[in-house]
Amino acid sequence: MTTETSGTPDATAPEHSPTELRSIVPTELLERRSGCPFDPAPGLAERRGRGAVQPLELANGARSFLVTGFDEARQVLGDQRFSNDRVRYKDATQLQAHEVAELAAAAERGEPVRPAEVERTDGMFIFMDPPEHTRIRRLLQGQFTVRRMRALESRLSEIAVEHIEAMLAAGPGADLVRAYALPLPSLMICELLGVDYADRDTFQDNTGVALSSDSTAEERARAGGELYAFIAKLVADKRAHPSDDLLSGLVHDADPPLTDAQLIDIALVLLGAGHETTANMLALGTYALLQNPDQLAALRADPSLIDDAVEELLRYLSIIQLGVSRIATETVTVGDVEIPAGATVVVATPEANRDARRLSTPDSLDVRRDRAPHLAFGHGVHQCIGQQLARAEMKVGFTELLTRIPDLRLAVPAGEIPLRNDMLIFGVHALPVTWG
């Protein structure tokens, strides 16, 4: 899973539709090059040396700031003067030009930034501030019990081995995304929420449409409607026939009770985050290891490196394309830059995770590196609630794959691997591999 704010490793339901974001944020800050797919977008790399907090020009004319420094990013994500409430505050990356002009005129008149007076009755906790966020977050933490996590972890190896054996029986050769990287976290989130795995195509396909910049507004609306209807039926089933799963717990144990609308929103976030982000980390992480044979050899020679290797891959790959954004509710100084009230701050996670002030050789993958701090799961009150499950999925997923298929390799030239530059969560659309 990613962070609440995005994401999945940092994703969940997207903050913006991909098409809207790409029409406002410069493309060079979003798209990675096929020749170096593991590095941040070239526009981010070109900004190195300009400061840890920089002005960011958006196509709609909004005044915003890009945060590329690790310490500065942690400050923004941990400071509750920066809001994540997309209902009460205006995120510049979501505004039309006339809305930007109206806000600028209000600022010129000296009008203070005021949140919209809207009662939050939804369950989109990833876009809430305390106290609404706190209540739902606590309910979820109560469902992510040690007993439940241990029970799920005991299934991870079984699921991984089953899919590897199926690949070997059908091979040599497979698309690692469809055959392994996607099923592993999808099965786990289905078991956690109490979703019938036979229904996985419904949420996987519709989530893909919602995250794709190639989708039209009509296609995204259709996909969103189908997802909502699917989850609404699931919530109704849990009310009538509860079982030992997280969603049943939220339906029956919350005090005061959650409404159906809140439950549907929460389930949508968890279901999307629970498979999309980890699946991309498994596939892209395998690709990165295959392209760094010295690191792959080190990990195979010393399997005890796996925990540090997972953290290094999370840092190195940073799959939330640009990062996450916040809105300043008052004037705040970040680093040595004053952020005015109402301004949007975009935390460039891929760059913050490679801050040369904190790391030597930040652009290298090093599975032996002393565990480096990173923001792949976010920071502060919105830090990813499912991060321990995601870590377990990656640890087991990589270990079983590399152990059971020791001669795993790409089946096509690296330049032919289709990158997810059309998606908010980076990865590969397919990873053709072979062995033997």
Using DSSP's 3-state secondary structure scheme, residue 314 falls into helix
Q: How far is Cα 155 from Cα 73, in angstroms, rounded to an integer?
A: 36
pTM: 0.91
Q: Are 3 and 324 in contact (CB under 8 A)?
A: yes
The residues facing 423 across adjacent strands are: 212
Q: Helix, strand, coil shares of the chain as percentages rounded to 5?
A: 50, 10, 40
Distances (CA, A) of 247 to 5, 168, 192, 292: 21, 35, 8, 40
What pLDDT was estimated at residue 308?
A: 96
Q: How far is Cα 146 from Cα 152, in angstroms, rounded to an integer?
A: 10
Total residue count of the chain as it appears in this document: 436
What pLDDT was estimated at residue 22?
A: 63
β-strands 432-434, 337-339 pairing: unpaired
Q: Are 105 and 36 in contact (CB under 8 A)?
A: no
For the chain, the domains span: 18-434
What pLDDT was estimated at residue 14?
A: 38
Residues 6+ apart with CB under 8 A from 49: none
**CA 192 centroid distance within chain:** 18
46-371-153 Cα angle (round to 5): 115
Both tokens of residue 105?
A: 């005129």
What pLDDT was estimated at residue 208?
A: 75
Q: How far is Cα 316 from Cα 289, in angstroms, rounded to an integer?
A: 11
Residue written as tokens 């400061």? 51
Q: How far is Cα 27 from Cα 212, in angstroms, rounded to an integer?
A: 15
Q: Options 1.10.630.10, 2.160.10.10, 3.40.50.1980, 1.20.910.10; which CATH number does 18-434 get?
A: 1.10.630.10
What pLDDT was estimated at residue 198?
A: 81
Residues 6+ apart with CB under 8 A from 25: 58, 59, 93, 322, 346
Both tokens of residue 119?
A: 């009662």
Question: Nearest Cα to 385, choosing from 215, 303, 269?
Answer: 269
Q: How far is Cα 176 from Cα 193, in angstroms, rounded to an integer?
A: 25
User: Residue 209 has what DSSP assignment?
Assistant: H
Radius of gyration of the chain (CA): 21
Using DSSP's 3-state secondary structure scheme, residue 361 falls into coil
List the chain residues with pLDDT less than 70. 1-22, 211, 213
User: If you write DSSP's letter for every residue of 147-183 in order, what string do you get?
Assistant: HHHHHHHHHHHHHHHHHHHHHHHH-S-EEHIIIIITH
